[in-house]
């Protein structure tokens, strides 16, 4: 029987992955955890507790007492926030993953911990970025993602932990807001366009980035974890992608749903430099060939679903 512990469950991915795992395994088989108090984020999908993943003993105790068979480790500090405090980003991202992998080795459970397009830097081919190529990121967030990929493979080889990972592009969603990344602009544009009819973008108009809609990302996690180990030539981590667009191209699609929408550009040097160091498009042919990955949403389909969902939410949810 599957029993799942989710870390970082209050975040952009955690909110939706927890709900998907509850639908799959049942509400009592999923323990949602986050550094934040559950009173502030729990959606009542199942048990939820406060847990700091940097507290190795508490984490291991939670895995042990819940009898978790898998940990979905989403607790992290994202790219832009991480550049504001690189030491804290390193400690949180690498320290928490080490604690999760160590608990998994002792308690014999599986691990999913996402990597990112940020695991590549300016030395890598950008369009497309191959599955296996140079990984010399220039952000602390990227450094922690490369370390995470290596640690996942190490714990698999050394201790037999079934650790798996995906290199996600920027994720667009309408449930929890994004948590301090560079690709957040895309989510912001949808919300602010609806609320205010105009948006000021912190990236330049022609910054092309790799992106994916959250339902595809959640399905990718589930399908990777379901894949037979014998099918996987790479565990940590697979390139996956769905669409690529620039702020200008996104604004055109948003404008088709919000008459009179206007976009302005005030590029932020830090976030622009990070975006410029990342891939334009991942080559995910290995994921497609080895475990059948297929995206379902392109940009028009994602935009239609985002506006349907955002318009059905309370007006206050669009104003924040």
Task: List beta partners, residue 167.
Answer: 115, 239
SS3 83: helix
Catalytic residue check, 141: yes
Q: Which is nearer to ligand AKB, 116 or 135 (CB)?
A: 116
Catalytic residue among 72, 90, 141, 297: 141
One symbol per residue from 139 to 178: x for binding ligand NAD (CB under 6 A), - otherwise; what is it? -----------------------------x-xx------x
Nearest residue to 241 via CA among 300, 287, 310: 287
d(C-alpha 40, C-alpha 11), whole Å: 12
Rounded Cα distance, 18 and 27, in Å? 9
Helix (H, G, I), strand (E, B) or coil at 71: strand
Task: State the burial class of residue 202 (Cβ atoms within 10 Å of its Cβ: 0-12, 13-18, 19+).
Answer: buried
150-179 positions binding ligand AKB, by CB under 6 A: 170
Q: How far is the CB of 214 from ligand AKB (least distance, A)?
A: 12
- Quote the least distance from Cβ 177 to ligand NAD, whole Å: 8
Judged by CB, which is closer to ligand AKB: 182, or 193? Answer: 182
Nearer to ligand NAD, 60 or 255 (CB): 60
Among 121, 128, 152, 179, the residue binding ligand NAD under the rule CB under 6 A is: 179
The answer for residues whose C-beta is within 8 angstroms of residue 83's C-beta and 6 or more apart is 89, 139, 140, 141, 270, 274
Residue 102 interacts with, from ligand NAD, ligand AKB, none (CB under 5-8 Å by kind): none
- Is-contact 7 100, C-beta < 8 A? yes
CB 115 within 8 Å of CB 238: no
Q: Could you say whether residue 212 binds ligand AKB (CB under 6 A)?
A: no
Residue 26: both structure tokens together: 């049942």
Residues forming contacts to ligand AKB in the complex (CB under 6 A) are 78-79, 116-118, 141, 170, 181-183
Residues forming contacts to ligand NAD in the complex (CB under 6 A) are 7-8, 10-14, 34-36, 51-54, 74-76, 78, 92, 96, 114, 116, 168, 170-171, 178-181, 183
Could you list the active site residues? Answer: 141
């Amino acid at each position: 029987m599957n029993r799942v512990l989710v870390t970082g469950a209050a975040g952009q991915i955690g909110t939706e992955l927890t709900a998907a795992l509850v639908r799959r395994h049942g509400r009592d088989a999923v323990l949602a955890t986050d550094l934040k108090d559950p009173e502030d984020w729990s959606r009542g999908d199942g048990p939820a507790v406060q847990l700091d993943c940097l507290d190795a003993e508490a984490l291991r105790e939670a895995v042990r007492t819940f009898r978790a068979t898998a940990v979905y480790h989403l607790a992290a500090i994202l790219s832009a926030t991480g550049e504001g405090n690189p030491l804290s980003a390193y400690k949180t991202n690498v320290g928490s993953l080490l604690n999760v992998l160590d608990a998994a080795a002792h308690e014999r459970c599986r691990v999913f911990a996402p990597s990112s397009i940020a695991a590549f830097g300016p030395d890598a081919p950008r369009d497309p970025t191959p599955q296996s190529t140079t990984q010399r990121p220039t952000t602390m967030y990227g450094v922690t993602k490369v370390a995470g990929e290596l640690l996942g493979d190490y714990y698999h080889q050394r201790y037999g932990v079934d650790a798996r990972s995906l290199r996600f592009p920027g994720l667009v969603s309408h449930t929890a807001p994004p948590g301090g990344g560079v690709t957040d602009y895309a989510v912001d544009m949808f919300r602010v366009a609806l609320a205010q009819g105009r948006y000021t973008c912190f990236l330049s108009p022609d910054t092309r980035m790799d992106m994916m809609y959250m339902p595809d990302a959640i399905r990718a996690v589930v399908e990777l974890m379901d894949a037979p180990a014998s099918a996987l030539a790479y565990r940590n981590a697979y390139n996956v992608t769905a669409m690529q667009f620039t702020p200008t191209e996104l604004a055109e699609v948003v404008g088709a749903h919000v008459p009179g929408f206007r976009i302005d550009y005030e590029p932020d040097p830090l976030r622009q430099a990070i975006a410029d160091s990342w891939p334009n498009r991942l080559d995910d042919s290995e994921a497609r060939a080895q475990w059948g990955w297929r995206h379902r949403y392109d940009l028009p389909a994602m935009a239609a679903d985002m506006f349907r969902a955002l318009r059905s939410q309370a007006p206050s949810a669009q104003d924040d």
